[in-house]
Structure 1
Amino acid sequence: MIDFKNINIMVGVAALFSTVSINSYGDGLKEVSKVQKERKYKLESEEKIYSVLTPLEKVVPDNLRGYKEYDEYAHSLMMSNSSQIFLTNDVGNNFVIYMIPHHEAAIVSSIGVLRYTTNPKVKELAERVVKIQKNEVKIMQNLLEQGELRGNENSEFLKKIQKLNEQKMDMKFYELLGNDSENVSEHYLKSMIPHHQLALEMAREYLRYGSNEELIKLAQKILLTQEEEIKEIELLLKNR
């Protein structure tokens, strides 16, 4: 049995500031790996080890400059697969191991857009994403740390979650160097649609296989809130 509380290995964002190389899910991640190798974001300590249980406030670097770096860092969080070391056959365990960095990426992107957008509706959306998903990350981390997500083994669930993530790795980087509010807002809105869609698909799969009551409620909430946010985003893009 893995002791998640005391484990001390490099996972997730560790690759962003160490010499650990990132293995990719496939060819679609080669560009992400290149970005990760080229950038070293300063966190609290270059030698500290981070995991899916690292408190969220310690995950976001303090030296990101420009929306482009927020976007790159968010992609790196979500696409890193070094958390594979934590995977078991437990459905709930595997769900949160994929969903935690997915949420963290949305939070980082939202923090980035809040710095540079002047659009009040985009700001309101981003603030809501940060608030809701921060709380959900804490819930998932608590369940993982307390060992509440074991005892429901199904290897088929892991295969489906991995396949979903492989299929959704076509999100585009923010290519513009500037921080123009309109361009930043447009990229954020467009990138959040496939990002939310992946969360919805993972939540649906968990509801098919999962058994933890608290995680079932969380998955149901993801379906409710993120389906509504996709509609909101599509309307914002339409009315630009």
Structure 2
Amino acid sequence: MHLKRPFVALLLGAIASGPLLLAGCSTFSQSPNGHSMPIGDSSMADHEMTMDLGPKDAEFDLRFIDGMILHHQGAIAMAEAVLQNSQRDEMRQLAQEVIAAQQSEIDQMQQWRQDWYPNASAEPVMYDAQMGHTMAMPPEMQTAMRMDGGLGKADAEFDRRFIDAMIPHHEGALTMAEQVLEKSARSELRQVAEDILATQQTEIDQMTQWRQDWYAQ
């Protein structure tokens, strides 16, 4: 099963230079896909990031839950920006669907975390490949996992910026979901992964079509 999908990273200095993996993010390299993602008032160079949640071990499911909750929270934040700034009915409908689906999954995963890992710290965790173990996810890594950099003001290019940010964001979720199907034995998580793969690939296809229709790209 394919486990490497290009997507735009929130490339913080600590991630680019340090040995830690963002919930297992292992490599960064120049990407030819032409996407860019603004963070606040700064524009990001294009990058490729490979998501790796670590080995099939007793904490794999916990790492997935923590990584995907943060990732979903980032998607919801961007979707809420659409409701504030986009005038397109199609975009607003997509945003509402993202918020509804991903908040439901967050709620479910938070309950599973409590049920399955009652002794786990409240802090989200990640896999440190260099050290070979699970560790607490630093704040800057949590920010990067969310991938919800500022999309800017409500101008003529807002919808394009959202599309260019949300497509790679969804691709990151697909990569993590694929790993669940390979490494998790829990039927509940496998079903969530299947749902993510189906729903978010459909949304990627739709946004790709909108970009072609609206921006000839």
Q: Same fold (TM over 0.5)?
A: yes
Distance (Å, rounded) in 2 between the aligned partners of 1:128 and 1:194: 18
SS of structure 2 residue aligned to 1:123: helix
Gaps of at least 5 residues in structure 2 are 1-11, 19-37, 41-56, 120-125, 130-136
Distance (Å, rounded) in 2 between the aligned partners of 1:159 and 1:210: 19
More strand by share: 2
TM-score w.r.t. length of structure 1: 0.55
Q: Is the Cα contact below 8 Å between 1:91 and 1:210 reproduced in 2?
A: yes
Match of residue 47 from structure 2: none
Alignment partner of 1:125 out of 94, 109, 112? 94
More helix by share: 1
Distance (Å, rounded) in 2 between the aligned partners of 1:140 and 1:172: 20
Match of residue 237 from structure 1: 211
Cα deviations across residues 99-126 of structure 1 (Å, max 9, x unaligned)?
1010000000000111010011111111
Q: Which amino acid aligns with 1:179?
A: A
Cα deviations across residues 158-191 of structure 1 (Å, max 9, x unaligned)?
468x9xx9xx98x795575x321x3111111110
Q: Is the Cα contact below 8 Å between 1:174 and 1:187 reproduced in 2?
A: no
Gaps of at least 5 residues in structure 1 are 1-21, 29-67, 73-87, 151-156
Q: How many residues align?
A: 150
Q: Which amino acid aligns with 1:108?
A: A
> 1:130-149, aligned counterparts within 5 Å?
130-147=99-116
Superposed CA RMSD in Å reads 3.4
Q: Is the Cα contact below 8 Å between 1:143 and 1:149 reproduced in 2?
A: no
Match of residue 176 from structure 2: 202
The structure 1 segments of at least 4 consecutive aligned residues displaced by more than 3 Å after TM superposition are 157-160, 171-176
TM-score w.r.t. length of structure 2: 0.60
Match of residue 57 from structure 1: none
Match of residue 226 from structure 1: 200
Cα deviations across residues 127-170 of structure 1 (Å, max 9, x unaligned)?
110110010001110000112699xxxxxx9468x9xx9xx98x
Q: Is the Cα contact below 8 Å between 2:77 and 2:148 reproduced in 1?
A: no
